[in-house]
């Protein structure tokens, strides 16, 4: 089968072997922190410094984190697709910067980015590398109202119109390293099937919606994604 328009979706599993931690696996982030406290607007209103501490630690962890073979394989696939005049969009739920570090460019962070902040007061957004505190002043309006530019539960993920447009036109949809527990991303496979696309799941183990995919390959992302990309690149044609 030949594919000219791909949409790839990644989740925490693609970064697990880079040491970033997943959310719902044994020992995962949501087994150690209450998501209501650190990943909702209400939690931020109740205790903003707790939220800052949580994201400060995760932002700090990015400094030493390196992309693994799965990130590199997806970047290789993007270059091969572009060289053949084909289209690829990589949609990630991850807030880390490992796809960028591996060289991916056609990338959409639907849940935001750890290395960006937004001002709750004036709405300005920008790159941010340092720790955030409740009195960290916004560079534009001067108030201490900065928050991590990540999407919390109850908020609208970024780029949804563009994502749905690309899925509606894709001939291959691939879900990588995500549990399929969180919507709207968990519903993308249904949109892709409606568009007539081939659907593939690459994950450590079958996800809760594994049956919705036409094809599944299971094992650590560093191996499974790398092998799948190598197979696919051989079949890409202009």
Q: 109 catalytic, yes or no?
A: no
Residue 197 sits in the site that holds ligand OAD (CB under 6 A): no
Residue 119 sits in the site that holds ligand OAD (CB under 6 A): no
Of 44-52, 53-61, 120-128, 175-183, which segment contacts ligand OAD by CB under 6 A?
175-183
Residue from 13, 43, 67, 69 binding ligand OAD (CB under 6 A): 13
Contact in structure between 138 and 144 (CB atoms under 8 Å) = yes
x/- track of binding to ligand OAD for residues 216-235 (CB under 6 A): ----xx--------------
Residue 111 sits in the site that holds ligand OAD (CB under 6 A): yes
The three state secondary structure string of the chain is CCCCEEEEEECHHHHHHHCCCCCCCCCCHHHHCCHHHHCCHHHHHHCHHHHHHHHHHHHHHHCCCCCCHHHHHHHHHHHHHHHCCCEEEEEECCCCCHHHHHCCCCEEECCEEEEEEEECCCCCEEECCCCCCCCCCCCCCCCCCEEEEECCCCCCCCCHHHHHHHHHCCCEEEEECCCCCCCCHHHHHHHHHHCCCEEEEEECCCCCCHHHCCEEEECCHHHHHHHHHHHHHCCCCC
Residue 18 sits in the site that holds ligand OAD (CB under 6 A): no
- Rounded to the nearest 10 degrees, how much is the dihedral formed by the CA atoms of 111, 188, 84, 103? 20
Of 10-18, 100-108, 115-123, 161-169, which segment contacts ligand OAD by CB under 6 A?
10-18
Of 24-32, 59-67, 83-91, 131-139, which segment contacts ligand OAD by CB under 6 A?
24-32
Of 43-51, 139-147, 164-172, 199-207, which segment contacts ligand OAD by CB under 6 A?
199-207
Task: State the first-to-last Cα distance of the chain, in angstroms, to the nearest integer.
Answer: 13
x/- track of binding to ligand OAD for residues 64-103 (CB under 6 A): -----------------------------x----------
x/- track of binding to ligand OAD for residues 136-155 (CB under 6 A): ---------------x-x--
Residue 17 sits in the site that holds ligand OAD (CB under 6 A): yes
* Chain residues in the site for ligand OAD (CB under 6 A): 11-13, 16-17, 22-25, 28, 39, 93, 111, 151, 153, 177-179, 181-182, 203-205, 207, 220-221
Q: Which residues are catalytic?
A: 111
């Amino acid at each position: 089968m030949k594919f000219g328009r791909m949409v790839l979706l990644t989740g925490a599993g693609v970064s697990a072997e880079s040491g970033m931690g997943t959310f719902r696996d044994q020992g995962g982030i949501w087994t150690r922190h209450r998501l209501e406290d650190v990943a909702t607007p209400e939690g931020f209103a109740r205790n903003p410094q707790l939220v800052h501490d949580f994201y400060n630690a995760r932002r700090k962890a990015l400094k030493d984190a390196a992309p693994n073979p799965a990130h590199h394989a997806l970047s290789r696939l993007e270059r091969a697709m572009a060289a053949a005049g084909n289209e690829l969009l990589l949609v990630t739920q991850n807030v880390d910067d490992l796809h960028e570090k591996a060289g991916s460019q056609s990338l959409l962070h639907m849940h935001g980015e750890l290395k960006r902040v937004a001002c709750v007061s004036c709405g300005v957004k920008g790159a941010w590398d340092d720790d955030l505190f409740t009195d960290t002043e916004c560079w534009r309006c001067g108030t201490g109202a900065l928050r991590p530019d990540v999407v919390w539960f109850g908020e609208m993920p970024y780029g949804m119109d563009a994502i749905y447009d690309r899925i509606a036109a894709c001939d291959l949809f691939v879900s990588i390293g995500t549990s399929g527990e969180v919507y709207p991303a968990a519903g993308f496979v249904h949109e892709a099937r409606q568009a007539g696309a081939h659907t593939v799941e690459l994950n450590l183990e079958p996800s809760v919606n594994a049956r919705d995919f036409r094809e599944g390959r299971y094992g650590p992302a560093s191996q499974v994604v790398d092998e799948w990309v190598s197979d696919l690149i051989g079949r890409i044609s202009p």
